[in-house]
Amino acid sequence: MPLADPPTARTHTTPDAPLDTADDLTVWPHTTRRLPHGDLSVGGVALTEIADRFGTPAYLLDEDDVRDRCRTYLHAFPDTDVLYAAKAFLCRAMAHWVAQEGLGLDVCSAGELELAVTTGFPADRILLHGNAKSPQDLHTALRLGVGRIVIDSASEIARLAAAVPRGSRQKVLVRVVPGIAAGGHSKIRTGTEDQKFGLSITDGSAQHAIARIFDQPGLELVGLHCHLGSQITTEKPYLCAVRRLVGLMARIKDHHGVTLPELDLGGGHGIAYRPGEDALDITSLARKVRAELTESCAAAGLPVPRLLVEPGRAIAGPAGLALYRVLSVKRTGDRTFVAVDGGMSDNPRPALYGVRYLPRLIGRHSTAAPATMTVVGRHCEAGDVLAADIDLPGDTRPGDLLAVPVAGAYHLSMASGYNLVGRPPVIAVQNGHARLLVRRESLEDFRSRDVGL
């Protein structure tokens, strides 16, 4: 994905050195620099220093990288509401950065919404969606004055309408299923008929819901919403979605005499997790979507609606790293297993989706020949594998530090309490400084929540 020129990284440990061209760091945060003794710095801070100061496992987030990716979206999508998808990763600092850069926010629970608003994020720049919103979700959204609510099912219409205070109106969009298969894995494809999200255009569910919304004086339908899936690396599915949603907008105008002013294409913009993998070209996507939207609306006799997009992974993912300490190395049969002090409790994605990461030895030079190894976690599951069959130095040993790039999205947000290991901290780096954003989950946290005997 094209990015603005990265800021010059500085370190307070040793001067920056040029990147070794033999090492492909293209998927790392763009402030990454190579240091002596096999170390790397991100945001001007040595990774070994992060591990020593904050312990492992730990997440690291490059603030400049996050901000630059926000700016890249705003530059690529002018006259568009760019909403950061909080489900990818959210904390107070992230909400603050996103707000400062001029993005809106896409949330899917009262928890995400409350955290953002109590941080100071403007509620009118927040969109709430989700396939099964609880009464608490809806009441919190109305109490805080959320800008948009995406209706995902027919039953939600009456519940939301009944909750809207008398004399006021809540702006809503309808999430429709355009019947488009797109995404990097079957479990993250959400634009087809055979999953739980949205209302089908094909069977008329979307049209029926739209008619019901028009009958509710407390609801103001302002647009259509769709989300095709995640890890989409080509523009074609989005262009097809534009055509189908504009077609539905035209039918709404014909049947109800209403011209909807907004069209939300969701997110799902794919990123590379390993060098050489495909990633969605955001600049190209924006240009082609805008051209398709203009052409489709002209053909349908409609004004061009305001566009909304919801990137999450594409902003947070490449800006983050995970740091682990090696606990054991052993050979079993034909395989060498490198076990680290984290695993599927802090990164369930390899087990869920088969995502392939590329860990790297940090903190010492090794002259040993590379060997094929599998990096595994510490949890009591055979499926607790972080990276299968990758090359690491043949002398990898306990105490070594491994860094995993592209770990900023769907790690902490999907982390669990399995084996009561505790979720890792999040550390932000910028201009040679590191600061704690989210503290490590502790044994005391587990004890304080366990109130029965």
d(CA 255, CA 202): 17
- Consult the annotation and say whether 262 binds a ligand: no
* Within a domain: 260: yes
CA triple 164-169-175, angle to 5 deg: 85
4 falls within a domain: no
Residue 342 pLDDT grade (very low, low, confident, very high; cuts 50, 70, 90): very high
Domain of 182 in residue numbering reads as 64-314
Q: Are residues 132 and 166 in the same domain?
A: yes
Residue 9 has pLDDT above 60, yes or no: no
Give domain status of residue 2, yes or no: no
Which one of 254, 285, 314 terminates a domain? 314
Peptide bond preceding 398: is omega within 30 degrees of 0, i.e. cis? no
Q: Are 268 and 178 found together in one domain?
A: yes
DSSP class of residue 315 equals H
Q: How far apart are CA 304 and CA 171, in angstroms?
A: 19
Phi and psi torsions of 412, nearest 5°: -60, -35
To the question of whether residue 84 is assigned a binding role by annotation, the answer is no
The predicted structure's pLDDT at residue 211: 96
For the stretch 82-116, pLDDT in tens is 999 999 999 999 999 999 999 999 999 999 999 99
Is 63 flagged in the annotation as binding? no
Q: Are residues 45 and 70 in the same domain?
A: no
Active-site position among 226, 240, 297, 380? 380
Same domain flag for 364 and 401: yes
What is the band of 202 on the pLDDT scale with cuts at 50, 70, 90?
A: confident
Last residue of a domain, one of 263, 291, 314: 314
Residue 190: its pLDDT value, please?
Answer: 47
Active site residue 380: yes
CATH number, domain containing residue 354:
2.40.37.10
Domain co-membership, 112 together with 45 = no
Q: Are 358 and 319 in contact (CB under 8 A)?
A: no
Lowest mean pLDDT across 4-18, 33-47, 409-423, 428-442: 4-18
381 assigned binding-site residue = yes
What confidence tens digit (pLDDT) does each residue in 351-405 have?
A: 888 888 999 999 999 999 999 999 999 999 989 999 999 999 999 999 999 999 9
Name the domain count of the chain.
Answer: 2
Regarding whether 250 and 146 lie in a shared domain, the answer is yes
- Has residue 141 been placed in a domain? yes
14 domain-assigned: no
Q: Report yes or no: 35 and 17 within 8 Å, Cβ to Cβ.
A: yes
The reply to whether 241 and 259 lie within a common domain is yes
DSSP secondary structure letters along 16-74: -BPPPTTS--TTS-TT-EE-GGG-EEETTEEHHHHHHHH-SSEEEEEHHHHHHHHHHHH
pLDDT value of position 178: 86
